[in-house]
Structure 1
């Protein structure tokens, strides 16, 4: 766990301790934006990201990358952990269309030299991706589609594309696991009432959070914290789990920051 960062000047979040639970690799920009608004971001990754335990499947796919028509990167982590191997011995095939679920993944691909990328315009999830005309049944039937993702996760995208006639391969190019050491400080701050809000960006992170906080003791304090989430599916899960102040924001870091800044914080 990373301690509270100092506040920067004044702003809409002045003095508010905001727990950022994104994986460590994706937490920095949002934490900096919170600090720029006077908030105190507390980094507590609820998902640990690392390389896949066996690199062989990715190496084998890299050798036949030209067989695919679409390569779907589900997150910036997929770009980070898959692309170096995919490009180790050949350039990106000109016939292979890169597809990204969200803008962070688009930026990661662009930084690696892949500028032509399909991505939803507003909602950033599998459902929005499947609405793209390029992924319609007539476009994907008979085509090879590679989905680059972490272990586990939702099967909606791959199952739907397969039902539309695509030849789908799912490849876990990175691993995801629950939080390691560091929950003690978070629990101590929670029990002491030293937190103002939480940010959650995945249903998996929500499950890890609930598993960390015992049903007795600080659980109710956790459930009463304002919880900011960028997707209706996460909001529904949080409400079902008993969170009393769930705030559904627009997508990505910008949406979460706007929701935090617009929130009606109690006067101290």
Structure 2
């Protein structure tokens, strides 16, 4: 299906938007880019020390879960610094096909999971090795802050859950009015927002005025609820934040 009537703003961080933009353009749409989240390394000394101590204790965990490609990029830099050879007897997991592929590309023996629908936290929780976790330690590799749903569910199954927070998400340094100007100049009518934080940052950068005129594509009902609460009226829900899911949602417009 053609996207000929769509002028789409992709808001992923720098270096992570090209594939989706190319797919949009190939399908007949017009893709533009402006990041609403920047991904950077840790800068706080306390956070750096906490991450170091956690990674140095990697061999005490039975399961390690990387929540995203960013977690693999930053997390594996930490792991390789202190573990030239990976510790044994660990179940390695990634959330999303791209995350799993990135782990495998770095020779991490990541456990695949073949399920219908989105490869998200909810799908990972169905993995056979994560059902009975009494006396087991689970490490979640992620950025500073974020959703606690996965940890809560694993804790209910008996796991001792820790975080290795190895990067941070920050609001980009854009000149005042820069994003509204891009939207007007490129005649943007659709925006892809990949997380609840992206939705919040977009509102902060654009302002509440005119949000009801823009159609947004978001991953999942949870992010859609955040967007609705912030005042968006035209919301399309994709199955996940993957390129393919976002593209399929755009084709439904």
| TM-score > 0.5, shorter chain as reference | yes
Is the CA contact (8 Å cut-off) linking 1:101 and 1:126 kept in structure 2?
Answer: yes
Partner of 1:127: 122
1:29 is paired with a residue of what secondary structure?
helix
Alignment of 1:225 with 2:214, yes or no, is yes
Deviant stretches of 4+, over 6 Å: none
With over 3 angstroms needed to count, the CA separation of the structure-2 counterparts of 1:167 and 1:56, relative to structure 1, is: same
Please provide the CA RMSD for this pair: 2.1
Structure-1 separation of matches of 2:175 and 2:140: 32
Structure-1 separation of matches of 2:153 and 2:239: 25
With over 3 angstroms needed to count, the CA separation of the structure-2 counterparts of 1:237 and 1:93, relative to structure 1, is: same
1:38 is paired with a residue of what secondary structure?
coil
Partner of 1:4: none
2:183 is paired with a residue of what secondary structure?
helix
Displacement, 1:188? 1.4
Partner of 1:152: 145
Task: From 34, 37, 60, give the equivalent of 2:27.
Answer: 37
Note the residue ranges of structure 2 that are not aligned, 5 or more in a row. none
Structure-1 separation of matches of 2:15 and 2:29: 20
Structure-1 separation of matches of 2:238 and 2:149: 23
1:83 is paired with a residue of what secondary structure?
helix
Task: From 237, 247, 252, give the equivalent of 2:226.
Answer: 237
Aligned residues: 247
CA deviation digits over 1:188-229, x for unaligned, max 9?
1335681121011101111111122233xxx22x32212111
Structure-2 separation of matches of 1:63 and 1:171: 11
92-101 vs 145-154, which deviates more?
92-101
Pick 1 or 2: higher relative contact order, CA cutoff 8 A, min separation 6.
2
Partner of 2:93: 99
Structure-2 separation of matches of 1:109 and 1:100: 7
Displacement, 1:182? 5.2
CA deviation digits over 1:64-111, x for unaligned, max 9?
211111001011001000112212343222311111121121111112
